[in-house]
Chains A and B, each alone.
Chain A
């Protein structure tokens, strides 16, 4: 296969998603749908990053909402306490998340399997505890208000505007992730996932690569968290909580580990689900738990890869 058709293979999903995002509003009856769409894109962005870590590099993070929280509170604390504009706070939040990921990742990523899982879990919960307790800075359990995002002098307001903004950002993050998969770094990461020892003997600096992808996935989550806070106008410590971290992992698993398109699917399912439940919203947690169990037991590959496998079976 020539390099060109490899590129074609990559650009097709991007094109499809762009078309999907651009045409979906034709079916929207009200601003409510734009709102759902924006939320889906926000979480899908975080999931793309987490998928790079879990699906490609084969590491696990049960505390990724911690970075969501850092990004979310950055755009609350920056303007409130330092007079920084939200867009600058977003960038600072991303940098801060990267730094924290570097500091925490160095020691933690040496761990394997369930030890790594629990270490990341511990990290995530610690962040949410800090956010809950440092009430002077964070407003405590009730959270803080978040000002509107102002870009180039124009205030970002309204669910429809947010839909386009988050959609565009998601596409950007999606393209960057896809680029990485089809590159020396991407191949090295997948190699680490399949056989760390073989990757090492071929010269891959495993520790450094794992750390790099951990930092990148942290920044993705941070940006998503910032958007979430700016979109809602409000941020509470739950954004960094254990349940939120598990939801993110569930989105990765549902959509398909290692599938960048799966990020959108996974996010869509778990964002729409609570909305669809309405009257039965009490069942949300039980349902989430059930979904996680069912998928991890029977459909470990996730929706998109399973569908793809079935479809390619048909084509033959």
Chain B
């Protein structure tokens, strides 16, 4: 079943076409990666799919329903969640509380009940806490639950964002460069987490620079260059595609490709 479908998506900022007619289709349960050199429009594409930007052109469909232009809150209610490249952690809250917010769309108490602290709220807090702890356990952060989020290492924060997004029980999870800035040990953790999520049937869409990670976990890879689709295929197909290599290499040869495919 095609769970996420984008057709001819386009958006421009002050004359620059950041995303220019991109079409892609993601099957339910896949791990789908979007790669491309810097400035190719990957994060912009993510922002379009997650409702942060409204496209100038094109449509987006989630599980058959047209969701183009819907706000992030509305998409969240439809089972879409994401992490952020620049870490949007709730730094004033504890690790556990961060993930508890992820449960928001499953929480059922209202403002009045909250203020009066009726028994339903106590129950809700307990349920939320339990689910949040479970999500933390999946990314290996359960024993850091009580710590302030601000005290975590960068790699741990990346996993925290994933746990938070997971807690909302999404059908589609967008991971925006989860391995950026992570060392090889942390990246392996991310690898493990992604596989575990995919095994549960969650569709994972990945934007990533780390080619090893992309090749390891992906079912399909979509390559962007300068806002347009370059090609799409299995990791092996993409890896050996001459156009892809040239997009990364450029005319004079770029170190990026050397490192990436090395």
Contact = CB atoms under 8 A, between A and B. Distances in A.
**Contact between chain A and chain B defined by CB under 8 Å:** yes
Contacts of B126: 3
Interface string B57-81: 0000000000000011101110001
A180 B118 CA distance: 11
A182 B121 CA distance: 9
Interface in A1-36: 1, 3, 6
Interface of B: 50-52, 71-73, 75-77, 81-82, 84, 88-93, 96-97, 100-102, 104-105, 107, 109-111, 114-117, 121-122, 124-126, 128-129, 145-146, 164-165, 168
Contacts of B125: 3, 6, 182-184
Count chain B CB atoms within 10 A of each CB in A184, A190, A194 and give the residue with the most.
Answer: A184
A199 interface: yes
A294 interface: no
A193 B96 CA distance: 17
A246 to B, nearest CB: 25
Which bucket holds chain A's interface residue count? 20 to 34
A200 interface: yes
Contacts of B52: 197, 201
Nearest to A179: B117
A203 B168 contact: yes
A197 B72 contact: yes
5 contacts: A3-B122, A180-B111, A184-B114, A202-B76, A258-B92
B104 A204 contact: yes
A278 interface: no
A165 B93 CA distance: 35
Interface in A199-238: 199-206, 212, 216
Contacts of B107: 184
A194 B81 contact: no
A195 B88 contact: yes
A202 B168 contact: yes
Contacts of B81: 201-202
